[in-house]
Amino acid sequence: MKIAEIIQPDDFHLHLRDGIYLKHTVTYSSKYARAIIMPNLKPPITSIEQAKSYRNEILNINPDFNPLMTLYLNQNIKKEELKKFPDIPWLLGIKLYPSGATTHSDYGVKVSELEYFYSYFELMEKYNIPLLVHGEVADYEVDFFEREKVFIENHLIPIREKFPYLKIVLEHVSSKEGVEFVNQYDLTAATVTPQHLLLTRNDLFFGGINPHNFCLPIVKTQHDKEAIAKEVLQGNPKFFAGTDSAPHPKHKKESCCGPAGIFSAPISIELYLQFFDDYGKSFYNNYTDKDLLENKEVINRIENFLSKFGADFYGLEYNKKTISIYKQEFSIPEEYPLGNETVVPMWAGKTLKYTCYIS
């Protein structure tokens, strides 16, 4: 049964990888109209030329999908390139990876050398180029679950206050402190992943360690999850969908010292819908509809989160096409093909309540 139709969503944080993975990964995101593509390839994307050729590879696979590209902040970015950003509609921002903080971040910025990049931030402010931030420190001395909080306190607030006109996105917000930071400052927003809305650290450890729930920033406590959920459910425009779908082959995830990354691309819209259905019941307790997603107000909130707030922040038009949401259960596959290997999706084997298709 079709229950609603909304503007086609965008994924404001996506890892597509390259090489033989690309054919699969691009296809897995095809329900989205556009996505911001992360630049943490090996080697990273640090020039407009590289971004353009990566974008063309993606377009060759699916011309109906609009990849919005980013550069990877390091000293190889030529400052002259920054002034070209405003004239290139598909080039949306620069990603800051603190070195050592996550997958392929070895070319990132040492937090002790962040001030070197202040001259870049000044230009980014001038040319209205958003700074997308992986907001974590990677010091052994800092507790793993406090990496985001410490990065915000020690590094992000100083940048935020020194460059008040710089647009900043705290990517994959994962903590209560992250939510507070975003709410406290203008021109500051956050992407929100399905995993940070639906999982806590219990999902990493309950019944035995589950490497498929390991991502960075790591999923945290019930309190953190609720703080993020509240902003999304109440429709705060600073918080919008960005999946951080980050595929790694199954055998690597299941090995010792396996990499961080949760793969959700092909089922992520459905995961967000499930979130609104599961958590909305107590939040919107004045709605008496039998099925929450049949409530027009709830559907509007979903549409804002998936298809409008991110576009508003980045100054993009809304997509023209729509997707139709059906009340139609489906089981998440145990694995998806990835090049010559396979990848295990989030919540493999679980049944979701809704399915959607491009209208």
Please identify every residue annotated as catalytic. Answer: 244
Comparison of 215 and 311: residue with beta carbon closer to ligand DOR: 215
Beta strands at 336-338 and 341-343: parallel, antiparallel or unpaired: antiparallel
Comparison of 125 and 203: residue with beta carbon closer to ligand DOR: 203
Stretch that binds Zn ion, among 41-49, 236-244, 331-339, 349-357 (CB under 5 A): 236-244
Are 229 and 279 contacting, i.e. CB atoms less than 8 angstroms apart?
Answer: yes
Are 8 and 323 contacting, i.e. CB atoms less than 8 angstroms apart?
Answer: yes
Are 174 and 218 contacting, i.e. CB atoms less than 8 angstroms apart?
Answer: yes
Comparison of 129 and 132: residue with beta carbon closer to ligand DOR: 132
Contact call for residue 148 and Zn ion (CB under 5 A): no
Residues that bind ligand DOR (CB under 6 A): 15, 40, 102-104, 134, 215-216, 244, 246, 259-261
Q: What residue 95 binds from ligand DOR, Zn ion, none (CB within 5 to 8 A, per partner kind)?
A: none
Comparison of 41 and 124: residue with beta carbon closer to ligand DOR: 41
Site size for Zn ion (CB under 5 A): 1
Site residues for Zn ion, 240-269, by CB under 5 A, read 244
Secondary structure (3-state) at 11: strand
CB 260 to ligand DOR: min, Å: 4
For residues 150 and 49, give the distance between their C-alpha atoms in angstroms, rounded to a whole number.
Answer: 35
Helices (H), 36-175: 48-61, 79-82, 118-126, 147-151, 157-162
CB 4 to ligand DOR: min, Å: 31
CA-angle at 337, arms to 205 and 70, nearest 5°: 80
Q: What residue 316 binds from ligand DOR, Zn ion, none (CB within 5 to 8 A, per partner kind)?
A: none
Sign of the CA dihedral with 80 first, then 85, 88, and 94 last: positive
* Contact residues for Zn ion, defined by CB under 5 A: 244
